[in-house]
């Protein structure tokens, strides 16, 4: 098996009607200025030609990607059935986005690519075709044989990393879903992920509360006392640098951010609002706890601007760079040379 450093990234284009194809094409256009490694796109050819007039190099083997990359955007074609219009998602497009994701993950699992970067999919569209996972994170985990509870969805930007304990579920269900065991599992995946992918020997994790003011001593809710604090104590007893629970509203200003390497948050928006407020243009979604490296831009399909040449490629570029950096870091620290 080739060293990950010599292999391309596989980049699934996401929903063909979204901005995924456009930002991937713009990344290839700007590959030198953006500092990008060779990559191969995986998805619908027409979704690219509709929004971009650059050169595409259709290949059938990722081993040809590195050579092709100098002359055109290498593409492993997964054609979508039916018509395709930017900004107008279809069921066929959702199937195509899922097939592209499946292929890209398979390439990473087989060691044919260094890492997988997933373009934005529409969860609503995927749910409509019978997708039963909350998101791509849990799908990739299942394909890798990892329990969804043992992975962590990290959102990372230049000055902040956050991880939600619960991900895509209705807010009214969050309190019932929070358990010490789930918090501990996400925390361990996060802490080990910081060591493995970022080289932080002794990572510091700050844990958010759930209620206003972290419960105000139990007067505004008891999750901090009954669920979060016991999890923190278990993690501390294992030797991890874990602190909290902190009131979430005062965890994200600059001085607070300097005190931790990642913030463990109790629900989706508690983690994603600060990250996107600070770093929307360069935010990366990284799945920790997998045998492969998987990243994604923090933004979604942006159907409202698809096909208008307005999509900013910087978050996709950041996702590609982070995937390559994590793969290189893992390779350098692997006990087995070449893995």
Give binding residues as ranges: 137, 168, 213, 268, 276, 285, 294
Q: Which of 7, 19, 160, 185 binds ligand NAI (CB under 6 A)?
A: 19
How far apart (Å, rounded) are the C-alpha atoms in residues 52 and 23? 10
Helix intervals (H) in 227-307: 229-237, 254-257, 268-279
Is 296 a binding residue for ligand LD2JLWAY by CB under 6 A? The answer is yes
Nearest CA to 266 among 171, 141, 140?
171
Is 285 a binding residue for ligand LD2JLWAY by CB under 6 A? The answer is yes
Contact segment (CB under 6 A) with ligand NAI among 191-199, 239-247, 297-305, 327-335 equals 297-305
How far apart (Å, rounded) are the C-alpha atoms in residues 137 and 264? 17
Contact segment (CB under 6 A) with ligand NAI among 46-54, 118-126, 152-160, 242-250 equals 118-126
Contact segment (CB under 6 A) with ligand NAI among 56-64, 159-167, 223-231, 294-302 equals 294-302
- 262 or 315, CB closer to ligand NAI? 315
Is 294 a binding residue for ligand NAI by CB under 6 A? The answer is no
Nearest CA to 217 among 208, 207, 205, 226?
226
Extract the annotated binding site for a divalent metal cation: 168, 213, 268
Contacts of 178 (CB under 8 A, 6+ apart): 165, 166, 210, 223, 227, 228, 266
Q: Choose among ligand NAI, ligand LD2JLWAY, none what residue 84 binds, the Cβ cut-off being 5 to 8 Å by kind.
A: none
Is 302 a binding residue for ligand NAI by CB under 6 A? The answer is yes
Is 31 a binding residue for ligand NAI by CB under 6 A? The answer is no
Nearest CA to 38 among 323, 281, 245?
323
How far apart (Å, rounded) are the C-alpha atoms in residues 210 and 221? 8
Nearest CA to 294 among 44, 105, 157?
105
- 124 or 250, CB closer to ligand NAI? 124
Contact segment (CB under 6 A) with ligand NAI among 77-85, 120-128, 201-209, 247-255 equals 120-128
- 84 or 287, CB closer to ligand NAI? 287
- 110 or 127, CB closer to ligand LD2JLWAY? 127
How far apart (Å, rounded) are the C-alpha atoms in residues 154 and 203? 14
Nearest to ligand NAI by Cβ — which residue?
300
Extract the annotated binding site for substrate: 137, 276, 285, 294
Buried b or exposed e, range 122-152, using 16+ CB within 10 angstroms: bbebbeeeebebbbbbbbbbebbebebeebb
Q: How many CA atoms lie within 13 A of 26 on its CB side?
A: 17
How far apart (Å, rounded) are the C-alpha atoms in residues 185 and 177? 13
Contact segment (CB under 6 A) with ligand NAI among 140-148, 223-231, 233-241, 311-319 equals 311-319
Is 311 a binding residue for ligand NAI by CB under 6 A? The answer is yes
Q: Which residues bind ligand NAI (CB under 6 A)?
A: 19, 23, 120-124, 136, 285, 296-297, 299-302, 304-305, 311-312, 315
């Amino acid at each position: 098996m080739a060293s990950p450093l010599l292999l391309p990234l596989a980049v699934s284009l996401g929903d063909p009607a979204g901005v995924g194809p456009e930002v991937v094409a713009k990344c290839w256009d700007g590959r030198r200025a953006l500092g990008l490694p060779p990559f191969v796109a995986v998805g619908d050819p027409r979704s690219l030609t509709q929004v971009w007039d650059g050169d595409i190099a259709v290949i059938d083997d990722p081993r040809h990607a590195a050579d092709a990359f100098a002359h055109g955007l290498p593409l492993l074609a997964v054609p979508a059935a039916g018509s395709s219009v930017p900004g107008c998602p279809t069921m066929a497009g959702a199937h195509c986005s899922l097939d592209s994701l499946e292929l890209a993950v398979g390439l990473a699992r087989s060691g044919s690519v260094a890492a997988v970067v997933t373009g934005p999919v529409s969860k609503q569209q995927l749910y409509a075709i019978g997708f039963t996972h909350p998101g791509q994170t849990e799908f990739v985990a299942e394909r890798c044989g990892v329990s969804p509870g043992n992975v962590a969805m990290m959102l990372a930007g230049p000055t902040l990393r956050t991880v939600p304990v619960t991900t895509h579920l209705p807010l009214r269900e969050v309190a019932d879903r929070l358990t010490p065991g789930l918090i501990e599992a996400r925390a361990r995946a996060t802490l080990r992920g910081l060591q493995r992918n970022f080289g932080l020997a002794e990572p510091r994790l700050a844990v958010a509360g759930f209620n206003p003011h972290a419960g105000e001593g139990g007067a505004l809710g008891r999750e901090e006392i009954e669920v979060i604090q016991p999890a923190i104590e278990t993690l501390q007893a294992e030797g991890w640098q874990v602190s909290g629970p902190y009131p979430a509203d005062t965890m994200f200003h600059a001085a607070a951010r300097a005190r931790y390497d990642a913030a463990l948050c109790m629900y989706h928006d508690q983690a994603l609002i600060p990250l996107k407020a600070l770093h929307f243009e360069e935010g990366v979604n990284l799945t920790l706890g997998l045998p492969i490296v998987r990243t994604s831009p923090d933004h979604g399909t942006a159907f409202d601007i698809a096909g208008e040449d307005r999509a900013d490629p910087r978050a996709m570029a950041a996702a590609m760079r982070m995937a390559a950096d994590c793969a290189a870091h893992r390779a350098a620290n692997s006990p087995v040379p070449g893995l």
